Amino acid sequence: MRKLFQKLGIVPATIACFLAAFWVLGLIVLPQATMIERSLWWEEQPADAQDAVQKLDQAWIRQAELSLEDPSPERDTELAAVEAEIQRLETLDTAPVRAWGLTNYVRMSGLHLRIFLWTLAASLAVTLIAFVVCYPVAWAVATAGPGLRGPILLMGLIVPYAVNELLRIFAWLILLDREGVVNTLLQALGMPGVPFVETGSGVFITMVYTYVLFMVFPMLNSMETLDRSQVEAARDLGASIPQIHRRVVIPHSRPGIAIGCIMVFMLAAGSYAVPWIMSRGVGGDWFTQLVYRQFYEANQWNVGAAYAVTLLIACLAFVLLVMKVMRVSLREIAR
């Protein structure tokens, strides 16, 4: 600490401290902590208390209706009775009790569990497809001559990604919709249309497209550091092209591949906009949509928080798994 202050001077060091604290608290600790806290409690209301609350609401509605009516002996007697009932009900204790525990985590229904596992599997598939698509692209860019690399990178990768993600998703919806560009073309050629949106395959296509760049750049970075003479040496020793990639290029670019996979998987598993827009709900839900619905429709924020934390844990597990499989350490990834 003192070293930092001596090295930078008081004002810059204070600013650095402030920014570091902002980062740790605001971006890491606070959001996760609130989510975890919320996932650990729920409100309980005994059945008879629920019943009493409902009766009280009904009585108040009747009271309001009666007081808007013209006075008459019958109305007055009923009003008095309703008001007595209200007084009686209001003395009952109906406040919900907050209970703590892990119940929210084990309440996932069979349907939700299936969707959870399916989302993980689908994200994995997106990651694999993105890898297959990106590997040749990254290799082509990494080996392209200096005169060619700039234009390829700019036109092929950076410009499309300067367009807002939502616009790109909607563009794909226009392309793949039931009466969209692709299906119109297919029909014009006398071929049957493909239900991209209805079957959920549109979600896959769009997701691969949307997150491809996050795979390309890390791979490109690590491929560029490969000494070209190693590839030449392998070739001189008689290695075939697949062998060169398997034995030389891939082992060298492991950290890049690992980062790319982790990023694409996390983005896919946590994507809300792509499945929501590209399936119109017809192609089945992704887990993120269930989380959204727990918060925004079912009014069960605590369960929603537990779902969100579960997804986070699954993603962390995936990170560790990838690191193990690719045999890379955190330090290599950070490099």
Partner 1 sequence: MSSTMVVVKGFPQAPSPFRLASAIRLTLRRGTGSAGSTRGIAERSCMSETNRTGQAAAMFRRRTLLGAAAAGGAALVAAPFAGSKARASSGTVNVFAWGDYVQTFNEGGLAKKFTDQTGIQVQLSTYGSNDELENKLRASGGKGFDIVFPSVDTGPNYYKDGLLAPIDETKFKVEQVIPSIYKSSVRLGATHRGKRHLIPFDWGTEAITWDSEKHPDLKYGELSYGDMWKEGLTKQVAMRQKSVLVGLALYLDSTGEVKSDRGMDLVKSEADSRRVFSEVTDWAIARKPIICAYWNNATEATSAFTDAGCTIGQTWDTTGILLNRNNGSKWRYSMPKEGGLAWTDTIGIPAGAENVEQAYAFIDFMLSPEAGGIFSNNTGYNSCAVGADQHLSEENKAAFAMAYPDQAAIDNLWWWPPQTPFFAALRTEYVEKFTNA
Nearest distance from C-beta of residue 299 to partner 1, angstroms: 5
Among 1, 188, 189, 334, binds partner 1 (CB under 8 A): 1
How many Å apart are CA 35 and CA 190, to the nearest integer? Answer: 53
Instruction: Give the residue with the Cβ less far from partner 1, 112 or 245.
Output: 112
185 binds partner 1 (CB under 8 A): no
Half-sphere exposure for 205 (CA within 13 Å, toward CB) = 19
Binding residue for partner 1 (CB under 8 A) from 6, 9, 12, 24? 24
Contacts (CB under 8 A) with partner 1, residues 27-86: 29-30, 33, 50, 53-54, 56-57, 60-61, 63-65, 68
Binding test (CB under 8 A) with partner 1, winner from 38, 127, 285, 287: 285
- Name the β-bridge partners of 41: 100
266 binds partner 1 (CB under 8 A): no
Q: How many Å from the N-terminal Cα to the C-terminal Cα in the chain? A: 25
CB proximity list for 87: less than 8 A, separation 6 or greater: none
Identified binder of partner 1 from the candidate list 26, 101, 136, 150, rule CB under 8 A: 26
Nearer to partner 1, 200 or 260 (CB): 200
Number of residues that bind partner 1 (CB under 8 A): 57
* Both tokens assigned to 76: 């007055």
Nearer to partner 1, 207 or 249 (CB): 207
Compare residues 83 and 332 and give the one whose CB is closer to partner 1: 83
Pairing between β-strand 41-44 and β-strand 97-100 as defined by DSSP bridges? antiparallel
Q: Mask of contacts with partner 1, 224-263, x by CB under 8 A?
A: ----------------------------------------
**Is residue 162 within the footprint of partner 1 (CB under 8 A)?**
no
Answer yes or no: are the C-beta atoms of 245 and 253 closer than 8 Å. no
| Closest CB to partner 1 among residues 162, 167 | 167
Shortest Cβ distance from residue 68 to partner 1 (Å)? 5
Alpha-carbon distance 63 to 73, whole Å? Answer: 15
Q: Least distance in Å: CB of 245 to partner 1?
A: 40
CA distances from residue 271 to 285, 299, 309 in whole angstroms, order as listed: 12, 21, 15
Residue 325 touching partner 1 (CB under 8 A) = no
Contact 279, 153 (CB under 8 A): no
Q: Report in angstroms how near the CB of residue 5 gets to partner 1 at its nearest.
A: 10
Stretch that binds partner 1, among 73-81, 110-118, 148-156, 233-241 (CB under 8 A): 110-118
Contacts (Cβ under 8 Å, ≥6 apart) of 192:
186
Q: Which residues bind partner 1 (CB under 8 A)?
A: 1, 14, 17-18, 20-22, 24-26, 29-30, 33, 50, 53-54, 56-57, 60-61, 63-65, 68, 109, 111-112, 114-115, 166-167, 170-171, 174, 177-179, 197-198, 272-273, 277, 280-282, 284-285, 290, 293-301
